[in-house]
Amino acid sequence: MIIRKISVGADYKSAMNYIVGQSVLNGSHVIHHISGSDDGSFLVYIEKEKEIIMWKKFSTNMPVSVEFNIDFI
């Protein structure tokens, strides 16, 4: 499944949100995709001028809420 958004933090209301397509780093980059890794952590990749790099990694001991992309056809 494709991850659309993750919210990181123990309290959902004040959690940090990372959404695919969101501008980050003062608008210089865009979140390209978010993926889960084999060890249970989450990786956030950003893009600038077609170059994609890993930006953040959230380990399994960080509380994370995941929202998946749902396309209705």
Domain ranges of the chain: 3-68
Backbone angles phi, psi at 12, to 5 degrees: -55, -35
pLDDT of residue 21: 97
Place of tokens 């959902």: 12
The pLDDT value given to residue 1: 80
Q: Between residues 1 and 53, which one has the greater pLDDT?
A: 53
Residues 6+ positions from 51 with CB-CB distance below 8 Å: none
pLDDT digits (tens, 9 = 90+) for 6-63: 999 999 889 999 999 999 999 999 999 999 999 999 999 999 999 999 999 999 999 9
| Residue 72: pLDDT over 80 | no
**pLDDT for position 65:** 93
